[in-house]
Amino acid sequence: MHVDKIHAGERLDRVLAVYFPELSRSRLQAWIKNQQVKVNDEIVIKPKHKILGDELLEVVTTLEDQGEWQASDIPITIHYQDEAIIIVNKPAGLVVHPAPGHYTDTLVNGLLYLFPELRKLPRAGVVHRLDKDTTGLLVVARTAEAHNHLVSELQDRAFKREYLALVHGEIVAGDTIDYPIGRHAVNRKKMAVNAQGKEAITHFRIGEKFNDFTLVQVKLETGRTHQIRVHFSHLKHPLVGDPVYCIRNLKPKGMSEKFEQVLAGFQRQALHARTLGLTHPVSGEWMEWECEVPADIELLLEAIRQHDKLHEKH
């Protein structure tokens, strides 16, 4: 695995935790102490070994079954699959990984039902996540080789990940948002722009302008937790429906009863992972997929268009 330069100065065990987040720190440290980890082809036995960035990391071990993760017959939309990868179109309301409160009803549970061999892979082959109420495309590896390749590709920022986001307020033009993101100082379940946080870069352009909203086309350069939601909230343009980062009741003036019902009924962040592109881990071919905008966002957009027609600016 290729270690990104953003990890320069970090301990080896902490960098391993990025690649194997489902494993305990003690287990990762045991790998290192048992001479199972190489940095640039040299065995390293100290967990506190400092990473310089841009190194090659190799782990020689056998992953045990993730037996505690139950297989469940959950409807999953497979957008594409072959012998090495699976592209999933995730619906809103589906958690990706088992966690307290969601042990049997997650995407991983459904994947294990359809593809039992994923038990042998880190995080059941899931390479990157989407928030529970974010819809759209994500990639799952089917083999250890594919997983290593895709994780390295992701760390090298070689994935193409494009989203549609509907935000409050009028944004004049596209831009790049470059603010580091870390844990919120008070609410540890939230993320925030934080000078001590990790580098976070979001590119966006205007998709469609409305009187009180803007549809933006977003391209991620980095992939921090809640990155798009945090960045636009920091710009005072929070995502419509976001229950965490849009805390004020932002309502356009002169709303009809019907429009108010549609807006109030939209109970998730208006964020959709529409496009995913990557280099195939076996063929080396560049592949790209796109999925339709979900019905709830389309309904919301149409309601906004109708509202604007009734309140055209002169």
Residue 270: how many other CB atoms lie within 10 Å: 25
Mean pLDDT of the chain: 91
- Enumerate domains of the chain plus CATH numbers: 2-59 (3.10.290.10), 71-156 (3.30.2350.10), 160-277+289-313 (3.30.2350.10)
Write the pLDDT tens digit of every residue in 146-160.
998 998 899 889 999
- Output the DSSP codes for 118-166: GGGSGGGGB-S---TT-EEEEEEESSHHHHHHHHHHHHTT--EEEEEEE
Write the pLDDT tens digit of every residue in 180-192.
999 898 887 899 9
- pLDDT the model gives residue 23: 67
pLDDT(25) > 80 = no
184: tokens are 């919120």
- pLDDT the model gives residue 189: 80
Contact 161, 138 (CB under 8 A): no
For 56, how many CA atoms within 13 A lie in the half-sphere containing its CB? 5
| Terminal C-alpha separation, the chain | 58
Which residues are known to be catalytic? 131
Buried b (16+ CB within 10 A) or exposed e, 55-93: bebebeeeeeebeebebbebebeebeeeebbbbbbbbbe
- pLDDT the model gives residue 21: 63
User: How far is it, in rounded angstroms, from Cα 224 to Cα 177?
Assistant: 13
| pLDDT bucket at 16, cuts 50 / 70 / 90 | confident
Buried b (16+ CB within 10 A) or exposed e, 215-245: bbbbbbbbbbebbbbbbbbebebbbbbbebb
Range 66-77 average pLDDT: 86
Write the pLDDT tens digit of every residue in 77-121.
999 999 999 999 999 999 999 887 888 999 999 999 999 999 988
150 phi/psi in degrees, rounded to 5? -70, -35
Q: Please give, one letter per residue, the 3-state secondary structure of 31-91.
A: HHHCCCEEECCEECCCCCCECCCCCEEEECCCCCCCCCCCCCCCCCEEEEECCCEEEEEEC
Give burial (CB, 10 Å; 0-12/13-18/19+) of 204: buried
Write the pLDDT tens digit of every residue in 266-289.
999 999 999 999 999 999 999 999
Write the pLDDT tens digit of every residue in 232-262.
999 999 999 999 999 777 788 888 888 989 9
Contact 166, 297 (CB under 8 A): yes
